[in-house]
Amino acid sequence: MKISIIDIGIVISYVLFAIGLAAYYSKRASKNINEYFVSGRNLPWWVAGTSMVATTFAADTPLAITGIIAKDGISGNWLWWNGVLSGMLSTFLFARLWRRSGVITDVELAELRYDGKAASALRGFRAFYTAIPINCITMGWVLLAMQKIVVLVLGVPDTPGWKAISVLICLIFVGLYSMLSGFWGVVMTDLVQFGIAMFGSITLAIVSLSKIGGITQLKEQLAIHYSDSESLLNIFPDFSVKSIMLTFGVYLGVQWWASNGVDGGGYIAQRMFASRDEKHTLLATFWFNIAHYTLRPWPWIIVGLVSMVVYPNLEDPEVGYPMIMLKYMPVGLLGIMMTSFLASFMSTIDTHLNWGSSYLVNDFYKRFIRTDADDQHYVGISRICVLIIMVCAGVISLFMDSISEAWKFLIALNAGIGLVQILRWYWWRINAWSEISAMFASAITSIIVFSLPLTKDSFALQMLIIVPVSTTVWVSVTLLTEPVSEQRLLDFYQRVRPSGGFWGPITSQIDRDLETDQPDSQIDGGQLPGLVMWILGAIFIYSTLFAVGKIVLGFYLAGIVSASISILSGSIVISTISKIVPPESTNDT
């Protein structure tokens, strides 16, 4: 399909808007790194939460999900749907703890929670490790998705040279406004980008489904092309197949708590730090999980299924999504759809540039290299770091060929770290060496198992090796090394107030009135315990996800039952959240 001038004009208009917004916020972002990286800690929950969603809504996501469906059906999405459990855990157990910490990055927590040279080394290493290799791998697969889209939409040759050019053009534009506007520009453009991206994906789902005759025709065509068409449409996998049952068991039994970020770290935590107060932080995280798991998946899934019918023998099924866009979207709507891809791409890349830069500046440069410079100096260095990360990500993207496989590798690379991240809030005995050993054990073991022929193609088996090995290593190291000093533990406990857990030796040193002050294991006022809210929240998210999917696919009875469960659990959760009274002040140092 030939791209019209109208479509190109829509895309260019959006580009000019984003640059204008960046210029508008550049002066505000230039004040200091607190403004540049966490927007002065004054974001309302709906801005912070929507920014979280927009960041995880990238150009790669619909392509990766299309590839997952082509290989494993709808149930293949449990690869990331299992994250509901960690998402609700971070909402009701960790969101307010992060906000109380008053840090700029989650890596900074290392020297707040631990002490000594090991804590400093952990902070510096994690800053560099997360900002460059880990962050750039994520950005690499987002850029890979844009490469595939550019090749299809613009009809340029699928060669390394043209890929490099397309990556360069995309990065220069996003890097420019990211450097100028800092986190203010990121979150404000995220609001617009999320709206455009959602409109585009929903419109494409409606148009493409109508073009093939509706949901009934979709099911019939799937039955013609695929002998296992019924299992393709199932939300849960076929448990009669042992390998599938094992994989699903790993998703729900291991992956969600073992992986990095289970306590809401990373760029999600960055939005928590930027939120107005503790209640806004909790609401932002809750809204993010609702939108992330219930609003976004089904338009992508529908288009993915349509692409399997229209293009049943694609060598690279991931490109089926943009091919459907080019085939069915009319002039004007195609331009909006192209803009939605650009917007979703930008909303992820700009976050990773700003977030990665925050590590390099706050936790590496300012901490170890230049400790006494003025605010303008650090903002200037932040912009240079954005450029460095941009170049590294562009190079890495040229060596990738599969988005979904990159997802799995990054999950495995950080497997085994999650339990340490949970326990550092609730067990006094965790120390810096716990995290260091978990990181190295997970990384080394994952590289080995990904290269072994026996485990190379079995994600479940890989996780079942990586997690026990990593856990054994870090538990052993924890018990063999010295604990954190009592004074550091007291300071940390008094600052974030992580009531519950295993803090006996520390709470015994604290006055009784502080020990019982606003327990975080309860959602204020002695109402529902945090773990109960976690379970109810997960039931609410999953039942809503299932309800939308079943109704969209025409399974109305199952959809109504799921919707009823959603309404009941959701009303309890929302009623409880509404009664939370935010504290008068928070730690913003």
Cα gap 543→443, rounded to integer Å: 35
Tell me the three state secondary structure of residue 282: helix
Question: In this structure, are residues 76 and 228 in contact, taking their beta carbons and an 8 Å threshold?
Answer: no
Q: How many CA atoms lie within 13 A of 130 on its CB side?
A: 28
Q: Give the model's pLDDT for residue 489.
A: 95
Q: Give the model's pLDDT for residue 493.
A: 93
Task: Kindly state whether residue 431 falls inside one of the protein's structural domains.
Answer: no
User: Can you read off the two tokens belonging to residue 37?
Assistant: 């990286």
Q: How far is CA 570 from CA 96, 192, 297, 526, in A?
A: 20, 27, 19, 20
Positive or negative, the CA dihedral 503, 508, 511, 517 is positive
Buried b vs exposed e over 203-216: b needs ≥16 C-beta within 10 Å? bbbebbbeebeeee
Cα gap 61→551, rounded to integer Å: 23
Q: Give the model's pLDDT for residue 539.
A: 97
At which residue do the structure tokens 């840090």 appear? 103
Count of domains forming the chain: 1
pLDDT digits (tens, 9 = 90+) for 96-136: 999 999 999 999 999 999 999 999 999 999 999 999 988 88
Question: In this structure, are residues 188 and 373 in contact, taking their beta carbons and an 8 Å threshold?
Answer: no
Q: Give the model's pLDDT for residue 345.
A: 82
- Return left, alpha or beta for 543; rule: phi > 0 is left, psi -120 to 50 is alpha, else beta: alpha
Report if pTM > 0.75. yes
Task: Kindly state whether residue 162 falls inside one of the protein's structural domains.
Answer: yes
Domain that holds residue 305: 5-414+522-578
Tell me the three state secondary structure of residue 133: helix
Task: Kindly state whether residue 494 falls inside one of the protein's structural domains.
Answer: no
Length of the chain, in residues: 589
SS3 helix, strand, coil % of the chain, rounded to 5?
75, 0, 20
Radius of gyration for the chain, computed over Cα atoms and rounded to the nearest angstrom? 23
Task: Kindly state whether residue 426 falls inside one of the protein's structural domains.
Answer: no
Residue 146: phi, psi to the nearest 5?
-65, -35
Q: How many CA atoms lie within 13 A of 315 on its CB side?
A: 1
Q: How far is CA 160 from CA 24, 136, 151, 163, 399, in A?
A: 36, 19, 11, 5, 10
* pLDDT in single tens digits along all 589 residues of the chain: 567 889 889 988 988 888 888 888 888 888 889 889 998 899 999 999 999 998 887 777 888 899 999 989 999 999 899 999 999 999 999 999 999 999 999 999 999 999 999 999 999 999 999 999 888 888 887 887 777 777 777 777 777 777 677 767 777 778 777 887 888 888 888 898 889 889 999 999 999 999 999 999 999 999 999 887 888 999 998 887 777 888 889 989 998 998 888 999 888 999 999 999 999 999 999 999 999 999 999 999 999 999 999 999 888 898 899 899 999 999 888 898 888 888 888 888 888 899 999 999 999 999 999 999 998 999 999 999 998 998 888 888 777 665 656 667 777 777 889 999 999 999 999 999 999 999 999 989 988 988 888 777 788 888 899 999 999 999 999 999 999 999 999 999 999 988 777 898 888 877 554 444 444 444 443 356 888 999 999 999 999 999 999 999 999 999 999 999 999 999 999 999 988 766 654 444 4
Q: How many CA atoms lie within 13 A of 97 on its CB side?
A: 31
Q: Give the model's pLDDT for residue 390.
A: 87
User: Can you read off the two tokens belonging to residue 327?
Assistant: 């085939």
Cα gap 156→151, rounded to integer Å: 5
Task: Kindly state whether residue 584 falls inside one of the protein's structural domains.
Answer: no
Q: Give the model's pLDDT for residue 348.
A: 84
Task: Kindly state whether residue 478 falls inside one of the protein's structural domains.
Answer: no
Task: Kindly state whether residue 480 falls inside one of the protein's structural domains.
Answer: no
Residue 275: phi, psi to the nearest 5?
-75, 160
Relative orientation angle of helices 160-211 and 333-358, to the nearest 10 degrees: 130
The enclosing domain of 269 has a CATH number of: 1.20.1730.10
Q: Cα angle vertex 305, ends 304, 310, to 5°?
A: 95
Cα gap 549→33, rounded to integer Å: 43
Question: In this structure, are residues 214 and 428 in contact, taking their beta carbons and an 8 Å threshold?
Answer: no
Question: Residue 322: exposed, middle, or buried by beta-carbon count in 10 A (0-12, 13-18, 19+)?
Answer: buried
Question: What residues are paired with 427 via a beta bridge?
Answer: 502
